[in-house]
Amino acid sequence: MTALLLTRRLRPAELATVDAVLSVAVGGLLGPYAALESPLHGGVRESLWVSVLVGMALGLPLAVRRRWPVTVTVVISSVATVALITGVIPNYAAAAPGLAIGLSLYTMAASTATRRSLLCAAGCLAVVSLALVLTASDLWSRTGAVVYAAVMITPAWMIGWLVRERRALAARQGEHMVLQAAAEERLRVARELHDVVAHTLSLIVVKAAVANHVAEVDPREAGAALRVIEETGRNALTDVRRVLGALREGTPYAPTPGLDELPVLAQQAAIGGVEVRLDVRREDPAVAVPESVGLAVYRIVQEAVTNVVKHATPAACRATVTVTPREVRVEVTDDGRRPVLAGGEGHGLIGMRERVTLHGGEFHAGPRSDGGYAVTASLPYRVAA
């Protein structure tokens, strides 16, 4: 319980209580100090109620220093100036009201715009310096009084200003982190939707072309193609629900396809006219691959096979996934011929590269020397203890 109170930020009611106690303590100390200090050194002997009133006037405004920081600073500086000029508090005891002035200046600098707080601090320094100069006996004392006022006031304002700048920087960093997280989430959802939609539509287009071609010659073949289209479309809707369900809490749809779903992916590719030979090798069957890595491997194989369906049909494709205790290696090769596409990498290759980069791995994609195309990736991971 004590550790929790020390680490969490105080609530407004708790801060108000602290300020109230602080104001009473400062006022209770400065009142008797003003009453005793001057007579002991041959200064002004005022009534006790005057000393108590001055002490309370210096301390009690601190109770509302967070609500009206500029007003509190002006009031305390004015009271301190009058007390110094009238001798209720002698100039050699200026450190006593300096405590109240420093607290008010710190709060004002930490909660007020820099230009406004700087002007107020300069005015406070001017009036306090004037009070000390008027009560000094010679030039040396006057010079020392000005330096003393600056040393008493400037650090309090500087500390408050540094706190304000630090808080502003933390707020900007927090806002930047929120925006970055939102951008990364949008990118993740866009990447998932691209992989799902591109893979599914490629198969649907292939089977729709078959159905359109044989509709009059072989209606039964056309019907079989339409059934494949229907099943593929249903599977796509389920995948889209999984992706979008990740944006909602408490939904049963989570983007969790992994290594175990790769055989189904190979069967779907066969529908599009691509024979996929899948080979999943595990050096240690007891090692569990993290869910994020399994999803990345699934999407990489899916996108690579989809590119074969779109650009290299008919072709034979081989997908090899090797699972080691430290990384997962993926290699997808085909022997098909692809058209030369202008414009560099498409969104599919960019998405695969981004997935691998997120896990600190390596990715390569390009034509093979003996014909066809190859996609290779390695995704390192750590085994949970």
Is pLDDT larger for residue 251 or for residue 263? 263
* Sheet hosting strand 274-282, strand order edge to edge: 274-282, 315-323, 327-334, 373-380, 362-367
pLDDT at 56: 77
pLDDT reading at 71 higher than 80: yes
Q: Which residue has the higher pLDDT, 353 or 273?
A: 353
- Is residue 26 scored above 90 in pLDDT? no
CB 229 within 8 Å of CB 211: yes
Predicted local confidence at residue 328, as pLDDT: 92
Q: What's the one-letter identity of residue 82?
A: V
Per-residue pLDDT reduced to its tens digit, 188-212: 767 777 766 766 777 777 777 777 7
Query: What per-residue confidence (pLDDT) applies to 1?
Result: 43
Residue 216: band (very low, low, confident or very high) from pLDDT cuts 50, 70, 90: confident
Q: Mean pLDDT over residues 140-156, rounded?
A: 75
Quickly count: other Cβ atoms within 10 Å of residue 384's Cβ. Answer: 7
The string of DSSP letters for 2-14 reads HHHHHHSPPPHHH
Of 101, 108, 155, the closest CA to residue 128 belongs to 101
Least confident segment among 40-49, 119-128, 234-243, 277-286: 40-49
Question: How many Å apart are CA 12 and CA 8, to the nearest integer?
Answer: 13
Among 163, 295, 269, which Cα is nearest to 207's?
269
Task: Report pLDDT for 375.
Answer: 92
Instruction: Tell me how crowded residue 89 is: count the other CB atoms within 10 A of its CB.
Output: 30
Q: Taking residues 284-302, what's their average pLDDT?
A: 85
pLDDT digits (tens, 9 = 90+) for 320-372: 999 998 899 999 998 877 665 545 566 678 878 888 888 888 999 888 888 88
Q: Which of the pair, 77 or 231, is modelled with greater confidence?
A: 77
Q: What was the pLDDT predicted at 243?
A: 65
Widest CA span in the chain: 122
Residues 6+ apart with CB under 8 A from 233: 200, 204
Round to whole Å and give the CA distance between 89 and 83. Answer: 5
Higher-confidence residue of 88 and 5: namely: 88
Percent of the chain with pLDDT over 90: 6
Q: Which of 26-35, 39-48, 264-273 has the highest mean pLDDT?
A: 264-273
Q: Around Cβ 309, how many Cβ atoms within 10 Å?
A: 26
At residue 43, φ and ψ (nearest 5 deg) are -95, -160
pTM comes to 0.50
Give the pair of three-digit tokens for residue 79. 């009271």
Output the CA angle 18-121-114, nearest 5 degrees. Answer: 85
Place of tokens 């992989």: 195
